[in-house]
Amino acid sequence: VANTVKASPPSPAEDGPVEKGPLEPKRQRNPWGQGDRLRDEIIDGATAILERTGNESSITLRAVCREIGVTPPSISRFFTDPAQVIDLVVSRELGQMRDSMAAASEANNGDPVAQLFAVIRAVYDLGRAHPNRYRVIFERRFLPLWDEKGLVMTETAPLITESFGLVVSALTDCVAIGASTSTDVFADCVAVWCGVHGLVALPSAITTFPWPDLDNLLDKMVTRLTGLNPDAVATARKPSSQAPRRPAR
């Protein structure tokens, strides 16, 4: 009541220099003509939020704005629905998964058994190292998007098909050299894929359970579900993935 100062909205430097510089990173705007870069920044921001929270419902357009330091009207020109953002996050993550599977396959060329393990382990490693990213990819429903006419709108479907194809290809080669007794390569690959998914998804959801060593269990699971010859497994090239096999925690 005493020193009511008449609201004075700007009043820039009454108590010294405000010095907000280094505390607020203060995003600088994109260069002239490159406004579309904001689209990628939005997806980056949403990915960061998902990695942090693991919760799709924490993705709101406004939350992404706060994350990347931009105001809500900016994002509205690119997205009108948080689900669109999440869809793009998912397809980008799926693309990265396919790439790392392809790299693992490439790195073990000529050794089908090592190749099979490496490709599977690429999925497993992604899921174990980044459970929240993995969740977003595989727990999202309607992962195939349908448009109004009933067609599948799909950037994601071919990514999955390609990824799965790497598994099928490796097991096919294993059968060709007599390392696997599989008589239904497709179905067995589906079984392995589902098995790995469960091995990643369940332990990251149920943390009170006394899980055994999952790395070993993965190898056992792959060997059994694909009908691999244990001798062939034993003689396969061993450090089967690009990444260090079991990053000590």
Partner DNA sequence: TGTACATCAGTGAACGCGCGTTCACTGATGTAC
Q: How far is CA 124 from CA 117, 131, 156, 211, in A?
A: 10, 10, 19, 16
CB of 155 to a copy of itself, least distance (A): 12
63 lies in the binding site for a copy of itself (CB under 8 A)? no
211 lies in the binding site for a copy of itself (CB under 8 A)? yes
193 lies in the binding site for a copy of itself (CB under 8 A)? yes
Backbone angles phi, psi at 193, to 5 degrees: -60, -50
The four Cα atoms 71, 73, 77, 81 give a dihedral, to 10 degrees, of: 90
Burial status of residue 85 (CB atoms within 10 A of its CB: 0-12, 13-18, 19 or more)? buried
Which one of 44, 143, 155, 162 is in contact with a copy of itself (CB under 8 A)?
A: 143
| H or E, element range at 146 | strand 145-146
Instruction: State the binding partner of 27 from a copy of itself, DNA, none, CB within 5 to 8 A by kind.
Output: DNA
CB of 44 to DNA, least distance (A): 13
Measured between alpha carbons, how far is 167 from 174 in angstroms, rounded to an integer? 11
Instruction: State the binding partner of 117 from a copy of itself, DNA, none, CB within 5 to 8 A by kind.
Output: none
Residues near a copy of itself (CB under 8 A) are 54-57, 135, 138-144, 152, 154, 157, 160-161, 164, 184, 186-187, 190-191, 193-199, 201-202, 204-209, 211-213, 216-217, 220-221, 224-225, 227
